[in-house]
């Protein structure tokens, strides 16, 4: 008789896809007791008075009801976040979910003849969810390396588009994990090259810090989708992402959206936050000021190379990233080691910009960890 452990192993082998069994889970480290600078979270909460008011609003939410298509929240997003007139938004449980839904929407399976599996493309290094979502949806992911200074290799991108005819191309603006803004003219050339054969998704997760956007270009490019999130602005915990694009395209993506993917609590909290966008924008201003200070102080450290950032994080190269990360961990500072992620990121680490106190603590710990 086989043990139940053997039986479950057989069951998994017989049912779960080979490529799923082969991947490692997305690891979220336990951060209790640490200064948490690994996930681009806003260190500030809403002020006490607003939190009390939000508490009341949440208490009044109709938790007994399923959420209904979110008209008020969508209208608030369109009105306050620069969505062009005549354009609607689609909401996701974080932009992570929207990435997965778009990948699923294009993941046509090649059958017979010269039919090929759909290709999802992004310049790399890129946000890991782009390749993961493509894989899980059953599409092939093609990464096109950026240049050594992390700028787009336009020629290589255009050649890869010609060769692979991707159905979906993700361009993070600014890019994560590098922090830089790609050249907008190069991005337009890519969107134009995709034309009627591919959808370009400009992922503006860091728009609150970059203060620049492709949103107003939507009317110029029918194959353009602009995606954002409230996460980096200070609401990572509520999980709300949104995207905008041509209504007919959104209608297709909407078919894949689980009808109640955004909870009533998220809806209420997001509406409340948008009514107080000035508070969140002021926090982003503070973080941008700290980014300037932190970048300068990091650049002054011997052996450290700091890369320009338009986001709420800074990527830098140190003499020995593994050593620096483990020493920082013993000093109770959690950051992201990028070294293994991509050839171009050898000995690179990424730190979230935080409060002046936490940034100073990082600098002091780093001086002892290089
Ligand atoms: C953080 C991040 C996201 C994910 O945002 P959520 O809305 O929290 O899922 C998407 N894209 C990029 C480039 C990011 O860095």
Domains delineated in the chain: 28-46+278-369 (3.90.1150.10), 64-275 (3.40.640.10)
pLDDT in tens, 121-163: 999 999 999 999 999 999 999 999 999 999 999 999 999 999 9
Segment holding 71, helix H or strand E? helix 71-80
Q: How far is the CA of 368 from the centre of ligand 1 (A)?
A: 31
Q: What is the pLDDT of residue 27?
A: 78
Q: What is the pLDDT of residue 114?
A: 58
Distance, in Å, from the CA atom of 363 to the CA atom of 341, rounded to the nearest integer, reads 24
Which tokens belong to 157?
């991108």
Q: How far is CA 92 from CA 117, 209, 260, in A?
A: 25, 21, 10
* Cβ of residue 227 lying under 6 Å from some atom of ligand 1: no
Atom of ligand 1 nearest to the CA of 96: 9
Among 96, 133, 353, which is best to mutate for testing ligand 1, by the most ligand atoms less than 8 A from CB? 96
* Cβ of residue 125 lying under 6 Å from some atom of ligand 1: no
Among 95, 226, 350, which is best to mutate for testing ligand 1, by the most ligand atoms less than 8 A from CB? 95
Among 92, 231, 240, 315, which is best to mutate for testing ligand 1, by the most ligand atoms less than 8 A from CB? 231
The DSSP symbol for 113 reads T
Q: Which of 168, 153, 173 is nearest to 215 (CA)?
A: 173
* Cβ of residue 39 lying under 6 Å from some atom of ligand 1: no
Other beta carbons within 10 Å of 162: 9
Cβ contacts of 9 within 8 Å, gap of 6 or more: none
* Cβ of residue 207 lying under 6 Å from some atom of ligand 1: no
Please, which residues bridge with residue 168 across strands?
120, 199
Give me the numbers of helices (H) and strands (E) for the chain, helices first please.
14, 13
Beta strands in 43-179 (DSSP E): 89-92, 119-124, 140-145, 168-172
Q: What is the pLDDT of residue 197?
A: 96
Q: How far is the CA of 97 from the centre of ligand 1 (A)?
A: 10
Segment holding 336, helix H or strand E? strand 336-337
Report the nearest-CA residue for atom 11 of ligand 1. Answer: 205
Q: Which residues of the chain have pLDDT under 70?
A: 1-2, 111-114
Cβ contacts of 306 within 8 Å, gap of 6 or more: 295, 298, 299, 314, 315, 316
Q: How far is the CA of 236 from the centre of ligand 1 (A)?
A: 9
For the entire predicted model, the pTM comes to 0.96
**C-beta of residue 279 within 8 angstroms of C-beta of residue 47:** yes
Q: Which of 354, 361, 345 is nearest to 307 (CA)?
A: 345
Q: What is the pLDDT of residue 2?
A: 63
Q: What is the pLDDT of residue 1?
A: 55
* Cβ of residue 96 lying under 6 Å from some atom of ligand 1: yes
pLDDT in tens, 182-239: 999 999 999 999 999 999 999 999 999 999 999 999 999 999 999 999 999 999 999 9
Distance, in Å, from the CA atom of 46 to the CA atom of 49, rounded to the nearest integer, reads 8
Cα–chain center distance at 100: 12
* Cβ of residue 358 lying under 6 Å from some atom of ligand 1: no
Report the nearest-CA residue for atom 5 of ligand 1. Answer: 95
């Amino acid at each position: 008789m086989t043990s139940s452990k053997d039986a479950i192993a057989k069951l998994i082998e017989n049912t779960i896809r080979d490529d799923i069994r082969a991947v490692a889970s997305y690891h979220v480290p336990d951060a209790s007791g640490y200064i948490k600078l690994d996930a681009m979270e806003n260190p500030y909460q809403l002020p006490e008075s607003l939190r009390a008011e939000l508490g009341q609003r949440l208490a009044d939410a109709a938790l007994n009801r399923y959420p209904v298509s979110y008209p008020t929240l969508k209208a608030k997003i369109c009105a306050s976040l620069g969505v062009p007139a005549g354009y609607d938004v689609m909401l996701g449980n974080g932009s992570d979910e929207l990435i997965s839904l778009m990948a699923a929407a294009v993941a046509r399976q090649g059958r017979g003849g010269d039919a090929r599996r759909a290709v999802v493309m992004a310049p790399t290094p890129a946000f890991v969810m782009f390749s993961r979502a493509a894989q899980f949806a059953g599409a092939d992911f093609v990464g096109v390396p950026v240049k050594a200074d992390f700028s787009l290799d336009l020629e290589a991108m255009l050649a890869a588009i010609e060769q692979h005819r991707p159905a979906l191309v993700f361009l993070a603006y600014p890019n994560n994990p590098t922090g830089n803004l790609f050249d907008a003219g190069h991005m337009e050339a890519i969107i134009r090259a995709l034309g009627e054969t591919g959808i370009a998704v400009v992922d503006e997760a860091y728009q609150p810090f970059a203060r620049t956007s492709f949103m107003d270009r939507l009317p110029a490019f029918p194959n353009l989708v602009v995606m954002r999130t409230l996460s980096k602005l200070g609401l990572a915990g509520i999980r709300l992402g949104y995207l905008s694009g041509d209504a007919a395209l959104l209608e297709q993506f909407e078919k894949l959206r689980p009808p109640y993917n955004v909870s009533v609590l998220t809806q209420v909290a997001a509406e409340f936050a948008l009514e107080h966008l000035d508070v969140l924008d002021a926090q982003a201003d503070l973080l941008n000021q700290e980014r300037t200070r932190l970048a300068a102080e990091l650049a002054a450290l011997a052996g450290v190379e700091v890369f320009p950032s338009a986001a709420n994080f800074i990527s830098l190269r140190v003499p020995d990233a593994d050593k620096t990360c483990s020493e920082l961990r013993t000093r109770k500072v959690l950051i992201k080691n990028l070294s293994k992620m991509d050839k171009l990121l050898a000995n690179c680490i990424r730190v979230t910009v935080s409060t002046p106190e936490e940034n100073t603590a990082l600098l002091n710990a780093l001086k002892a960890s290089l």
